[in-house]
């Protein structure tokens, strides 16, 4: 593994189809641009088609021959996830990488269309359903394929509260975010174990995190509460402490494309407490490796989404 692996080191992706959730800004946008520059056909999934079109035009301005498809996907609505899956199956015969990147962070309590707490619903359940619905395409593709799930260093603070997973009795925005990011890793590791149990060697499940990267994610919470002071503080922290979104996207790109990545890996920045730097192997919390919690979360996720994997 190179100590200074960058987007220039992404291998040739010609002929590969990649789905990136939350592709219109931040990490998703930077990953889309880098993958398109290496020849991938990138399916940019976005909640807002208007913002998606702006982002697609910007990628095409930066990468003249970018091969892009824009598709609407709202991870806060399982009906939208199913519609996207049906459209994808009708449109594409192969899927090489599914990058589960989109997310929300530390927002006031909201609920998804199906009544799930928003952070758990979008960050985990939406991606759990999406992955399950696209798994057949990943397994049918002849080349090696990957599911890359974006977590966060904040998962270290997470605890799975199975007695109140939707935080209906007590809600703390940061605790809910940490739980959703822990759920991302429990899912990523459990998916790899299940694939191995059925002898599926062609699909890898990998977790990653961006460190502290300057994106729009930090702005959403303050905007939703109308807190100008907090929004100003987040913006200042981004400028002073955070690395760029381009750097923050490198662990996801590495997890998605590097030849030496193994299933069940966790990739993140290797410098300054894992908050910044070039990508490499990272260490996740003990809780993220709890197989009993992973199994329990899997069963809960199948019950809530109605999506079963058959593995």
Is residue 29 part of the annotated active site? The answer reads: no
pLDDT in tens, 2-50: 469 999 999 999 999 999 999 999 999 999 999 999 999 999 999 999 9
Strand order in the sheet with 17-21: 67-72, 41-46, 17-21, 97-100, 145-150, 203-208, 266-271, 276-281
Structure tokens at 29: 């946008």
pLDDT band of residue 233 (cuts 50, 70, 90) is very low
Out of 177, 212, 254, 266, the active site residue is 177
Structure tokens at 131: 């992955």
pLDDT in tens, 95-128: 999 999 999 999 999 999 999 999 999 999 999 9
Check: CB of residue 178 under 8 Å from CB of residue 121: no
Tell me the domains of the chain and their CATH numbers: 12-211+247-305 (3.40.50.720)
pLDDT in tens, 163-190: 999 999 999 999 999 999 999 999 999 9
Check: CB of residue 52 under 8 Å from CB of residue 70: yes
């Amino acid at each position: 593994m190179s100590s200074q692996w960058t987007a220039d080191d992404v291998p040739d992706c010609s002929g590969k189809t990649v789905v990136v959730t939350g592709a219109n800004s931040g990490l998703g946008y930077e990953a889309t641009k880098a993958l398109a520059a290496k020849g991938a056909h990138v399916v940019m999934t976005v909640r807002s088609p208007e913002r998606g079109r702006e982002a697609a035009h910007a990628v095409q301005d930066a990468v003249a021959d970018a091969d892009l498809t824009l598709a609407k996907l709202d991870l806060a609505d399982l009906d939208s996830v199913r519609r996207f899956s049906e459209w994808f199956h009708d449109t594409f015969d192969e899927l090489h990488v599914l990058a589960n990147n989109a997310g929300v962070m530390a927002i006031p309590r909201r609920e998804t269309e199906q009544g799930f707490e928003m952070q758990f619903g979008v960050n985990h359940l939406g991606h759990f359903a999406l992955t399950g619905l696209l798994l057949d395409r990943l397994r049918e593709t002849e080349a090696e394929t990957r599911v890359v799930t974006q977590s966060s260093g904040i998962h270290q603070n997470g605890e799975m509260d199975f007695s109140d997973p939707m935080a209906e009795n007590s809600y703390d925005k940061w605790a809910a975010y940490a739980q959703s990011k822990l759920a991302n890793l429990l899912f990523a590791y459990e998916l790899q174990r299940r694939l191995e149990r059925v002898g599926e060697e062609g699909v890898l499940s990998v977790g990653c995190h961006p460190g502290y990267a300057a994106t729009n994610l930090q702005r959403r919470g303050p905007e939703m509460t109308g807190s100008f002071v907090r929004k100003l503080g987040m913006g200042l922290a981004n400028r002073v402490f955070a690395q760029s979104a381009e750097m923050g996207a490198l662990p996801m790109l590495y997890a998605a494309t590097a030849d030496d990545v193994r299933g069940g890996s966790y990739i993140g920045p290797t410098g300054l407490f894992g908050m910044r730097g070039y990508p490499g192997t990272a260490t996740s919390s003990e809780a993220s490796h709890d197989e009993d919690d992973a199994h329990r979360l899997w069963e809960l996720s199948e019950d809530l989404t109605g999506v079963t994997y058959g593995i």
